[in-house]
Amino acid sequence: SYVLTQSPSVSVAPGQTVKITCTGNNFGKKAVNWYLQKPGQAPVLVVYDDSVRPSGIAERFSGSNSADTATLSISSVEAVDEADYFCQVWDAENEHPLFGGGTKLTVL
């Protein structure tokens, strides 16, 4: 079955740029979506279709997708960006959304 792999954690200093990656087979053919989740809250969609930001999401969030790796970039990182980040694609074999394991972003 299809598997999405994310690094468990990443840390960054305030004001820097962080890249959170998600890997899977033949990624370039799949649309990747990204969510952030803060403790005790529901996930929030921050990027969809690889690189589109929903309304209300800061321009600091951007996404890209290559053959095997999708990347969520957050520029000028702020303390409020500290959260878990999940990637997601459509699992065509099982006909349902599939989530990566999540990456915990720590702002130093």
Query: What is the C-alpha separation between 49 and 53, in angstroms, rounded?
Result: 9
Backbone angles phi, psi at 39, to 5 degrees: -55, 130
Residue 42 binding other proteins, by CB under 8 A: yes
Residue 10 binding other proteins, by CB under 8 A: no
Q: Judging by beta carbons within 10 Å of its beta carbon (0-12, 13-18, 19+), is residue 73 exposed, middle or buried? A: middle
Tokens at residue 54, please? 């929903």
Residue 23 binding other proteins, by CB under 8 A: no
* 50 to 79: interface string for other proteins, x by CB under 8 A: ----x-------------------------
Query: What is the C-alpha separation between 104 and 10, in angstroms, rounded?
Result: 6
Q: Least distance from C-beta 42 to other proteins, angstroms?
A: 4
Q: Which is nearer to other proteins, 15 or 54 (CB)?
A: 54
Q: Residues in the site for other proteins, rule: CB under 8 A? A: 31, 33, 35, 41-45, 48, 54, 86, 88, 90, 94-102
